């Protein structure tokens, strides 16, 4: 959902998102989870949000998550499962949670039974054998309840290492008034997109069709996945393929580089104050955003309220329908847990019941479901948002949810996002072309993976 992907990225770079987070928080309202900033070193004491009033004989579980409003689901679970008592703690978004979690896992005690972990980070915990295989606890019976991309993300071999919760199918999210002003309709192919970007920028040299935030390596890789240029192959164990310089990657780079060089796309940090302001004021007309856009972006909107619409992602091949995902979370059980059966029961309830989804799909949680019964329900698809007027953006995002290509993340995503921030940052300042940065990054990632003991194929 919302901030999670961004928070991880900023936090993991060590160049923390304090500013963004503080701003979002300051902008008030139902601002997303970003409100818990994690400026380096100072993590606030975890706030305990639910878990009081349990019977004394109940099995006690600790649960860490930063999704706002999650306490409502925990309270509901505790009320309906008298033999289990879940205590929710919010240690802070992204690294606010991951850093203490990693420390507790290293120390051998102090980890929660269940915690929120984003999709891309799941393999990083799997490789350290920190997660409980949920198959013995009946996880497989839920397989058909989930979008296939999400289920494959939590699976490795015959094991299932987490329950998937929300995700972020991507789309072309645009301000219809701004596009109309420049006489542009949402492009259906990337070729059309490139023409539209040039057309818009030529009419107003201060305005851009979208922002290409290359320094957000997660977003960049999600875009590459849609282009069939996913740069990794990894399925557990010590074998890893890294390929940032193959023909598909070069094709991707050579599509975007002319747009960057001629300044036909903006190059500012995504989800930043500046991007939000430019989107709101019409200087950036659209965004390759995700399903959590309507809830995440909304608090930043002043002038363009009601004008935002969702369209499917532009396609590399006309007539195709290939989607992509940006962000999302899972709920694994940690092997430190003394009560894995009860922890699994909680995670399964949280991610795979109508009871839970009826709560967490609503604000302030506003989770976008991987859980098909909710994802495909008419009520969910036809939901409207003040930012989008009478339109129904979930129609687009729900359809896109079923066409996401596989993204086998390497098991060291915090390193990747950290290095990506620096290496691809050079693309935004014009110091390197995207192709050059891909070559640099290839060498950096291969060298890191080898130092970590992987058998690397390029």
Partner 1 sequence: MLREGGRAAVSETALRQPTAAVAQPRVWRGPGRRSVYARRRGRSGLAFVTPFMILFTLFMIVPLVYAVYESLYTTKLIGGTRFSGFANYSTVLQSGPFWGGVIRVVIFGGIQIPVMLAIAFFFATIFDLGVAKWGRFFRAVYFVPFAVPIVVSALMWGFLFDPAYGPFNRLMNSIGFHNFNWLSSGLMVPSIIIIAIWEWTGYTTVIMYTALKSVPRDLVEAAILDDTPLWRIILRIKLPMVRPAIILLIFINTIGAMQLFVEPNILNNYQAGVITNTWTPVINIYSTAISNGEYQLGAAMAVVLAIIIIAISVASLAFRNRRRSFS
367 binds partner 1 (CB under 8 A): no
Of 77 and 125, the one with the shorter C-beta distance to partner 1 is 125
Q: Which of 83, 185, 238, 406 binds partner 1 (CB under 8 A)?
A: 238
Closer Cβ to partner 1, 144 or 429, answer by number = 429
Render 62-107 in DSSP notation, one character per residue: EEE---TTHHHHHHHHHHH-TTEEEEEEE--STHHHHHHHHHHHHH
From the CB of 425, what's the least distance to partner 1, in Å? 3
Cα–Cα dist 159/161, whole Å: 6
- If one asks whether residue 356 binds partner 1 (CB under 8 A), the answer comes out as no
Q: Are 316 and 189 in contact (CB under 8 A)?
A: yes
Q: Is the dihedral of CA 67, 147, 403, 393 positive or negative?
A: negative
Residue 152: C-alpha distances to residues 29, 119, 300 (Å): 35, 10, 34
Distance of closest approach, residue 20 Cβ to partner 1, in angstroms = 6
- Is residue 198 a contact residue for partner 1 (CB under 8 A)? no
Q: Name which of 268 and 288 has its Cβ closer to partner 1.
A: 268
Q: Is 274 in the site for partner 1 (CB under 8 A)?
A: yes
Q: Which is nearer to partner 1, 293 or 428 (CB)?
A: 428
The only residue of 141, 262, 431, 447 in contact with partner 1, by rule CB under 8 A = 431
- In the complex with partner 1, which residue's Cβ is closer, 173 or 424? 424
Q: Which of 427, 435, 439, 446 binds partner 1 (CB under 8 A)?
A: 427
Does 13 help bind partner 1 (rule: CB under 8 A)?
yes
Cβ proximity to partner 1: between 370 and 414 the closer is 414
Residue 454 makes contact with partner 1 by CB under 8 A: yes
Q: How far is the CB of 72 from partner 1 (least distance, A)?
A: 31
- Degrees to nearest 5, angle at CA 181 with 180 and 183: 55
CA-based max dimension of the chain: 70
The reply to whether 257 sits near partner 1 by the rule CB under 8 A is: no
**What tokens appear for 138 in the block?**
């009946």
User: How many whole angstroms from its chain centre is CA 322?
Assistant: 18
- Contacting partner 1 within 80-119 (CB under 8 A): 95, 99, 102
Orientation angle between helical segments 4-13 and 18-26, nearest 10 degrees? 140
Nearer of residues 5 and 72 to partner 1, judged by Cβ? 5
What are residue 208's DSSP bridge partners? 284
Return the structure tokens found at 139: 């996880």
451 binds partner 1 (CB under 8 A): yes
Residue 3 binds partner 1 (CB under 8 A): no
Q: Is 428 in the site for partner 1 (CB under 8 A)?
A: yes
Q: Tell which one of 148, 152, 336, 452 touches partner 1 (CB under 8 A).
A: 452
- Establish if 417 lies at the interface with partner 1 (CB under 8 A): yes
Query: Cα dihedral sign for 151, 157, 160, 162?
Result: negative
> Any contact of residue 7 with partner 1 (CB under 8 A)?
no
Place of tokens 């709920």: 331
127 binds partner 1 (CB under 8 A): yes
- The label of the residue with tokens 């996913």 reads 230
The CA-CA-CA angle for residues 214, 269, 102, to 5°, reads 85
CB of 389 to partner 1, least distance (A): 27
Q: Is 448 in the site for partner 1 (CB under 8 A)?
A: yes
String of DSSP letters for 294-337: HHHHGGG-STTTT-EEEEPPPBSSTT-----EEEEEEEPBBTT-
Answer yes or no whether residue 22 interacts with partner 1 by CB under 8 A.
Answer: yes
Let me know: does 115 contact 334? Beta carbons within 8 Å: yes
* Spatial CA neighbour of 89 closest among 43, 133, 55: 43
Q: Under 8 Å CB-to-CB from 391, ≥6 apart: which residues? A: 309, 310, 384
Q: Which residue stretch of 13-21, 79-87, 189-197, 358-366 sits at the interface with partner 1 (rule: CB under 8 A)?
A: 13-21
Report in angstroms how near the CB of residue 13 gets to partner 1 at its nearest.
6
Phi, psi of 446 (to 5 degrees): -60, -45
Taking CB under 8 A as the criterion, the residue among 73, 268, 298, 435 binding partner 1 is 268
Q: How many binding residues for partner 1 (CB under 8 A)?
A: 50
**Residue numbers at the binding site for partner 1 (CB under 8 A):** 10, 12-20, 22, 39-40, 95, 99, 102, 127-128, 213, 215, 238, 267-269, 272-274, 277-278, 411-412, 414-415, 417-419, 421-422, 424-429, 431, 448, 451-454
């Amino acid at each position: 959902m919302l901030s999670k992907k961004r928070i991880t990225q900023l936090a993991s770079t060590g160049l923390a998102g304090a500013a963004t987070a503080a701003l979002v928080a300051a902008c008030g309202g139902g601002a997303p989870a970003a409100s818990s900033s994690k400026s380096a070193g100072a993590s606030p004491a975890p706030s305990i949000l639910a878990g009081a009033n349990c019977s004394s004989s109940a099995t006690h579980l600790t649960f860490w998550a930063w999704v706002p409003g999650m306490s409502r689901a925990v309270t509901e679970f505790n009320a309906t499962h008298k033999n289990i008592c879940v205590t929710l703690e919010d240690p802070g978004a992204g690294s606010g949670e991951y850093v203490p979690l990693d420390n507790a896992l290293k120390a051998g005690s102090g980890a929660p039974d269940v915690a929120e972990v984003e999709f891309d980070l799941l393999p990083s915990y799997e490789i350290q054998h920190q997660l409980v295989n949920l198959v013995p606890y009946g996880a497989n019976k839920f397989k058909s309840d989930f979008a296939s991309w999400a289920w494959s993300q939590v699976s490795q071999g015959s094991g299932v290492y987490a329950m998937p919760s929300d995700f972020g199918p991507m789309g072309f999210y645009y301000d219809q008034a701004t596009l109309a002003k420049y006489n542009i309709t949402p492009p259906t192919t990337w070729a059309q997109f490139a023409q539209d970007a040039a057309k818009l920028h030529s009419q107003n040299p201060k305005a851009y069709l979208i922002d290409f935030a290359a320094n957000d390596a997660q977003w960049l890789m999600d875009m590459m996945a849609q282009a069939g240029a996913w740069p990794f192959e990894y399925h557990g164990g010590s074998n890893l393929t890294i390929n940032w310089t193959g023909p598909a990657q070069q094709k991707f780079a050579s599509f975007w580089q002319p747009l960057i060089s001629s300044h036909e796309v903006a190059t500012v940090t995504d989800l930043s104050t500046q991007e939000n302001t430019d989107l709101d004021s019409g200087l950036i007309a659209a965004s390759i955003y995700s399903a959590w856009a309507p809830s995440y972006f909304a608090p930043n909107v002043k002038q363009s309220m009601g004008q935002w619409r969702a369209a499917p992602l532009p396609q590399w091949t006309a007539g195709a329908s290939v989607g992509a995902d940006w962000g999302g979370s899972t709920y694994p059980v940690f092997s430190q847990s003394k009560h894995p059966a009860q922890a699994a029961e909680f995670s399964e309830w949280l991610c795979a019941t109508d009871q839970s989804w009826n709560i967490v799909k609503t604000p302030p949680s506003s989770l976008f479901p991987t859980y098909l019964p909710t994802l495909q329900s008419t009520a969910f698809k036809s939901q409207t948002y003040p930012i989008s007027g009478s339109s129904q953006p979930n129609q687009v995002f729900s359809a896109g949810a079923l066409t996401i290509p596989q993204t086998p993340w390497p098991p060291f995503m915090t390193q990747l996002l950290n290095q990506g921030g620096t290496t691809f940052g050079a693309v935004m300042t014009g110091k390197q072309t995207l192709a050059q940065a891909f070559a640099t990054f290839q060498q950096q990632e291969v060298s890191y993976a080898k130092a970590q003991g992987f058998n690397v194929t390029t």
